[in-house]
C-alpha cells in the first residue's frame, strides 16, 4: 500500500503548495508568498490614508524661492551686478515655476485643453567682461535651486564630423552630473561659456567651412530651443550602430555667456549714424571710457549681437539679454572679504587648520585690489595675486610650531617679503591696538 505525501496548502487562500512559489509555515499555520504581498500592499495603503507614512518628496514639493529671495541669496556670493541679479532671478523663477506647473498637471492627469496656454521657456544671454561673475551667477543659482548644473566651453565645439566635440557633448556633462539620471538632467541648467568666440568670422562668403563658428551656432539651435537629442553615454562621436540616451532639452535652461569685446563700439556707431566716417578708421577712432561703455551697453539691441556675428536664429532663442558691469577697485576689494566664500576667508580657514590665525592689514587688501584692477581680468586676478603672495607663507608655516598668528601688510604685497613677518607668537594687530 502506497501512502501519498501530505499536500500542504495556504491557510489564508487555500492554494496548495505546488501552485505557489513559496509557503511559509509557523505553529501549524501556513501562508503563501502571494498572500504576503497582498497583505503588504494593504498595510501600506492604510498607512498612507491615515497619514502615518509620508509619501516620498520630490523637487516639486519643495517651495520655489521667489525672485527677491534669489537676489538675497546671490548677494551672499556675488558683489554688485544688481541689474543682472534681478534679471536672472526673475527669468529662473519663471522657468522653474513653469516646470513645476507642468509637472503637477501631469501628475494630476489633467491633460491640457484647447484653451490651455502653453508656457515657453526663455533662455538667457549674459554679456560681460572676463571675471565679472557670469559663471558664478549661473553656478550659484543652480546651487540655490538644487538642480543639476554643467558648464561647457563653446570654443571646443565643432560641427558633427569634424575634429572636436559635438554639441551633444554638452548634454553628456549634464547627465554625468546626475549620475546618468535622464529625468533629473532634464530639469537642469547648462552654462555655455565663450559664446562670443563662435561668432561668424566674416560676413563675406568663403570657400572653407566655418566648422567652429556658424556651423556650431546652427547645431546649437535645436538643443537650446528644445528637442529630443540622442547622447552617446560614453561620449565621443556618434556612429550608426551605437546605443544613445534620449534626452529632452525642452525643459533645460540654457544660459550663454561671453565678453563680446568691441560690442559697445558697434552700439556707438549705431547711435551715431548721422556722423559719417570713412575708411578703416571708423572702427578704431571710437575710444570709450568704462563709464561710457556701461552706458552704451544699456542701449544694447539684438541687432547689435547679430552684427557682432551671432546668427539671428540663435539670438531669437536667447530672448533674455543682460549685461554685467566691469569690476571696479571698490568691488574687487569687497570681493576679497565680503562674500560667504571670500578669498580672505578661504585662506584664513586653510591657515586655521594649522592652528595659525591669518590677518590682513586694510592697506594690504587695498593694494591687492588695485593690482587686480590693473591686470584687467576681473575677480580671477585676485586668486592669482593671493596664491603668489601666500606661497612662501603656506610653505613655511605648517612646519613651525612657534607661530600662532601671521600678519599680511602692505610691505609684503609690494616687496613679496615674508621672512621677517612670520615670528608672531600673538596677534600683531592686537599688539598694535594695545600699543
Domains and CATH numbers, the chain: 17-47 (no CATH), 67-103+121-201+212-274+291-323 (3.40.50.300), 329-415 (1.10.8.60)
On whether 39 is known to bind a ligand per the annotation, the reply is no
pLDDT at 242: 66
On whether 296 is known to bind a ligand per the annotation, the reply is no
On whether 136 is known to bind a ligand per the annotation, the reply is yes
pLDDT at 435: 47
State the average pLDDT for the chain. Answer: 79
pLDDT at 54: 45
On whether 131 is known to bind a ligand per the annotation, the reply is yes
Model confidence pLDDT, tens digit, residues 372-414? 999 988 898 999 999 988 888 888 888 888 788 888 888 888 8
On whether 10 is known to bind a ligand per the annotation, the reply is yes
On whether 129 is known to bind a ligand per the annotation, the reply is yes
Q: For residue 314, what are the contacts with CB-CB under 8 A and spacing of at least 6? A: 217, 220, 221, 224
- Which range has the worst mean pLDDT, 4-13, 49-58, 223-232, 373-382? 49-58
On whether 130 is known to bind a ligand per the annotation, the reply is yes
- For residue 71 the three cell numbers come to 537676489
Model confidence pLDDT, tens digit, residues 108-131? 655 444 456 677 889 999 999 888
Percent of the chain past pLDDT 70, that is, above it, reads 75
pLDDT at 393: 85
For the beta sheet containing 124-127, the strands, ordered from the edge strand earlier in sequence to the opposite edge, are 149-153, 189-193, 253-258, 124-127, 320-323
* 3-state secondary structure at position 390: helix
Q: Which residues pair with 406 in a beta bridge?
A: 358
Mean pLDDT of 45-56: 48
Task: Report how far apart the first and last C-alpha atoms of the chain are (Å, whole number).
Answer: 114
On whether 358 is known to bind a ligand per the annotation, the reply is no
On whether 435 is known to bind a ligand per the annotation, the reply is no
| Whole-prediction pTM | 0.74
On whether 113 is known to bind a ligand per the annotation, the reply is no
On whether 156 is known to bind a ligand per the annotation, the reply is no
User: Of residues 23 and 86, which shows the higher confidence score?
Assistant: 86
CA distance linking residue 319 with residue 270, whole number of Å: 21
User: Of residues 399 and 348, which shows the higher confidence score?
Assistant: 348
Q: Are 35 and 9 in contact (CB under 8 A)?
A: no
Mean pLDDT of 265-286: 61
Amino acid at each position: 500500500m502506497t501512502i501519498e505525501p501530505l499536500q500542504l496548502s495556504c491557510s489564508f487562500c487555500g492554494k496548495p503548495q505546488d501552485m505557489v512559489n513559496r509557503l511559509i509555515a509557523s505553529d501549524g499555520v501556513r501562508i503563501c508568498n502571494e498572500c504576503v504581498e497582498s497583505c503588504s500592499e494593504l498595510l501600506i495603503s492604510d498607512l498612507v490614508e491615515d497619514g502615518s507614512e509620508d509619501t516620498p518628496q520630490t523637487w516639486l514639493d519643495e517651495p520655489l524661492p521667489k525672485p527677491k529671495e534669489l537676489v538675497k541669496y546671490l548677494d551672499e556670493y556675488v558683489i554688485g551686478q544688481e541689474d543682472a541679479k534681478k534679471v536672472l532671478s526673475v527669468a529662473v523663477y519663471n522657468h522653474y515655476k513653469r516646470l513645476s506647473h507642468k509637472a503637477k498637471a501631469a501628475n494630476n492627469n489633467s491633460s491640457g485643453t484647447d484653451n490651455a496656454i502653453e508656457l515657453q521657456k526663455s533662455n538667457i544671454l549674459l554679456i560681460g567682461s572676463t571675471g565679472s561673475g557670469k559663471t558664478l551667477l549661473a553656478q550659484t543659482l543652480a546651487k540655490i535651486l538644487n538642480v543639476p548644473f554643467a558648464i561647457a566651453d563653446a570654443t571646443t565645439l565643432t560641427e558633427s564630423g569634424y575634429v572636436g566635440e559635438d554639441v551633444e557633448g554638452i548634454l553628456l556633462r549634464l547627465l554625468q552630473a546626475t549620475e546618468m539620471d535622464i529625468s533629473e538632467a532634464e530639469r537642469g541648467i547648462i552654462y555655455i561659456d565663450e559664446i562670443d568666440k563662435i561668432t561668424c568670422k566674416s560676413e563675406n562668403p568663403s570657400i572653407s567651412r566655418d566648422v567652429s563658428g556658424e556651423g556650431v551656432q546652427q547645431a546649437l539651435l535645436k538643443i537650446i530651443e528644445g528637442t529630443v537629442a540622442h547622447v552617446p553615454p560614453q561620449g565621443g562621436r556618434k556612429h550608426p550602430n551605437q546605443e544613445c540616451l534620449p534626452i529632452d532639452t525642452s525643459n533645460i535652461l540654457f544660459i550663454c555667456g561671453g565678453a563680446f569685446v568691441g560690442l559697445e563700439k558697434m552700439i556707438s556707431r549705431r547711435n551715431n549714424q548721422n556722423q559719417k566716417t570713412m575708411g578703416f578708421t571708423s572702427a578704431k577712432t571710437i575710444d570709450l571710457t568704462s563709464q561710457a561703455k556701461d552706458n552704451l551697453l544699456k542701449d544694447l539691441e539684438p541687432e547689435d549681437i547679430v552684427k557682432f556675428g551671432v546668427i539671428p536664429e540663435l539670438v531669437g532663442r536667447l530672448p533674455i539679454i543682460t549685461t554685467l558691469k566691469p569690476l571696479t577697485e571698490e568691488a574687487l576689494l569687497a570681493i576679497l572679504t565680503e562674500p560667504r566664500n571670500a578669498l580672505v576667508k578661504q585662506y584664513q580657514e586653510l591657515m586655521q587648520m594649522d592652528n595659525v590665525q591669518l590677518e590682513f592689514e586694510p592697506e594690504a587688501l587695498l593694494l591687492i585690489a588695485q593690482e587686480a584692477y590693473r591686470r584687467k581680468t576681473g575677480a580671477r586676478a585676485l586668486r592669482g595675486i593671493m596664491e603668489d603672495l601666500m606661497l612662501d607663507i603656506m610653505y613655511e608655516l605648517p612646519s613651525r610650531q612657534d607661530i600662532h598668528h601671521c600678519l599680511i601688510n602692505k610691505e609684503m604685497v609690494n616687496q613679496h617679503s615674508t621672512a621677517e613677518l612670520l615670528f608672531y607668537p600673538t596677534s600683531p594687530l592686537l599688539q598694535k591696538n594695545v600699543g
